[in-house]
Amino acid sequence: MRQITLKSFDQEKERILALLRTEALPFEDDSPTAKTARKERCRNDLLEFSRTYMPHYVPEEFSPYHEELDRYCSLKNEPVFFSGPKGTGKSVIVTIIDTVKAMLYKQRMFTIIASETEDQAADRASYIQFEFEFNPRIRQDFGDLRGAWLWEGKDFVLSNGARCKARGLGQQVAGLIHRNFRPDGFRIEDMESEQSSRNPKRVKQILEWVIDVALGGLGPNFSFIWGGNIISKRCALYKLISDVDDSGRKRYAGQIFQLLQKDGTSLCPGIWPLPRIERMKRIMGPTSFNKVYQNDPTDPDAKFRPEWIQTISIKQLRKRKNLQVKVYNDPIVEPTSTSDTAAIICAGLDLDTLQDEGGPTLVVIDAVVRRLTPGHMIDWHYRFDELYHAGEHWFEAVGFSAWLQRDFDRAALKRSRLNVRPYKTPQINKEVRIDTLTSPIERGKIVFCTGNGDVATVVDHLLYHGNAGVPDDAPDALAAIWNIFNRGTHGMLHVIDDDD
């Protein structure tokens, strides 16, 4: 659903009113018995409620896709993240109709509608409020539910006590209380844009707000759904849908739906018969069609694609019993600095894959990508040596100046002496060095244990590489350690024990 202005909302209201006059006329049987029967028939059936009370919003026939959306709406205490094609009724069913139904039957007492801004969320909430004001069938069976206490577009309360409130990204959720209820319903609409999906900091902000703030602020028996479109495979929604736990299972309910399914059938034949799909595909071209209706966008400027990234869990890492481990550090430091950026990569060559077609696999075991003092930088090398028994500790030769060597010498007086080596960076453009990673990553010959340290940050910097403001130190450090292993240098073998 698009963002609307006051003028366009007035126009939209007129359009909906016209539909109500033709498609949602009052029921002929106005007897108490008939009212009770209708209400009870729809109480626990969202699609039946849609057909009965809000026919102006729904297709003539529902598909299994809509039945799955109905199931999502019934889940309690289980967050749902899904993407559906545009024009298939996902927002109407999940956000508008389900919220109207839940408020009418007091199945949820405090629903939050969230968007990138509060104004956008208020637009969505206005459609919900509109049904209570003007839908003749709802008013006929449920009465006039307009509340006298609070009746704003962005925050309104029905006379039965159920509340709906708009919220924007960054706004507080924890601590919101309506009567004795914390938010027990949460719907997210239009949280991302083309621009935000290209900014890793913005994507991180969205992820943290959705998981930490929104989910963390809900009451018991909550219903939480974010349904949208995959703008980019680097966007927050794609990350949440794709997220897995340590066992490799999907962390959240939900999936990616495509309009043209793998078996050649339509996801929603009642709305999108195959001839209409084929016509739209010809008009838009395959790239735009795949993005809008297949939730399969491609970024021609992206050097590394999300589908190339192979990840393993910490549990899966422990099963790799024959790793040759090394550490590489690209320090950007000077003797007088107190805190500078470091990109430290700890990786292991899986010697059990030496005979694999395409060559052995490099496992990115751990990483540090952050501002560090020189002392803390050295501490991390000892930590990696203790955890993974790295055979070699490599440093970019320019950064590994005499003063840093002296720091390691001083550390060795109290600790063991590490096998520290300078690495002379090839005298080629940094972009060319990073380009050497595209083939092994695409072929799955570099895998990432994203549950360890800052490995997920390394992946993010690869995916967003080339965008303004995204550092390239971590990709360059990964290219260096890939080159070090390919030069055939020797390292120790290490078995990562279950209790390491």
Q: Answer positive or negative: Cα dihedral of 471, 475, 479, 480.
A: positive
Of the chain, the percentage scoring pLDDT greater than 90 comes to: 63
Q: What is the pLDDT of residues 205-263, one digit of tens each?
A: 999 999 999 999 999 999 999 999 999 888 999 999 999 887 778 999 999 999 999 99
* Token couple for 297: 């966008």
Average pLDDT, the chain: 88
Given this model, what pLDDT does residue 471 score? 85
Q: So what's the pLDDT on residue 2?
A: 38
Q: What is residue 327's predicted lDDT score, i.e. its pLDDT?
A: 95
Per-residue burial over 393-422, b = 16 or more CB atoms within 10 Å of its CB, e = otherwise: bbbbeebbeeebeebbeebeeeeeebbbee
What are 333-372's pLDDT values in tens digits? 554 444 446 899 999 999 999 888 888 999 999 999 988 8
Q: Provide the residue type at 324 as one letter.
A: Q
Q: Got the DSSP string for 161-222? A: S-EEEEEETT---TT--BTTB---EEEE-S---HHHHT-HHHHHHHHHIIIIIIGGG--TT-
Of 172, 190, 167, 183, the residue nearest 118 (C-alpha): 167
Query: Residue 402: which pLDDT band, with cuts at 50, 70 and 90?
Result: low
8 Å CB contact between 73 and 46: yes
CATH of 6-257, one of 1.25.40.10, 3.50.30.30, 3.40.50.300, 2.60.120.10: 3.40.50.300
**CB of 35 closer than 8 Å to CB of 140:** yes
Give 187's strand partners.
113, 225
Burial class (CB in 10 A: 0-12, 13-18, 19+), 307: exposed
Alpha-carbon span 469 to 336, nearest angstrom: 26
Helical (H) or strand (E) element with 366: strand 361-372
- Bridging pattern class, strands 493-494 and 163-168: unpaired
Q: CA 377 to CA 344: how far, in whole Å?
A: 9
Of the candidates 19, 82, 60, 68, the residue with the CA atom closest to the CA atom of residue 273: 60
| DSSP code at position 88 | S
pLDDT tens digits for 122-158? 999 999 999 999 999 999 999 999 877 788 889 999 9
E strand or H helix that includes residue 459:
helix 455-463
Contact 446, 492 (CB under 8 A): no
Q: What pTM does this model have?
A: 0.76
Cα–Cα distances in Å, from 374 out to 335, 412, 476?
9, 15, 20
Place of tokens 């929104």: 214
Three-class SS of 288-353: HHHHHHCCCCCCCCCCCCHHHCEECCHHHHCCCCCEEEEEEEEECCCCCCCCEEEEEEEEEEEHHH
Query: What residues contact 438, with CB distance under 8 A and at least 6 apart?
Result: 303, 304
∠ CA 343-345-351, nearest 5°, is: 165
Contact between 189 and 114 (Cβ < 8 Å): yes
**DSSP letter assigned to residue 494:** E
Q: What pLDDT band is residue 4 in, cutting at 50, 70 and 90? A: very low
Specify the pLDDT at position 395.
87
Classify the C-alpha dihedral 116-188-230-48 as positive or negative.
Answer: negative
Distances (CA, A) of 455 to 136, 367, 500: 56, 5, 18
Dist. CA 452–CA 449, nearest whole Å: 6
Owner of token pair 């320019």: 398
Residue 495 has pLDDT above 50, yes or no: no
CATH topology of domain 306-494: Nucleotidyltransferase; domain 5 (3.30.420)
Q: Rounded distance, CA 268 to CA 65, Å?
A: 7
For residue 332, the model assigns a pLDDT of 62
pLDDT, residue 88, reads 94
Q: Where are the domains of the chain?
A: 6-257, 306-494
Q: Is 114 left (phi over 0), alpha (psi -120 to 50) or beta?
A: beta
| Cα 500 to Cα 498: distance, rounded to the nearest angstrom | 6
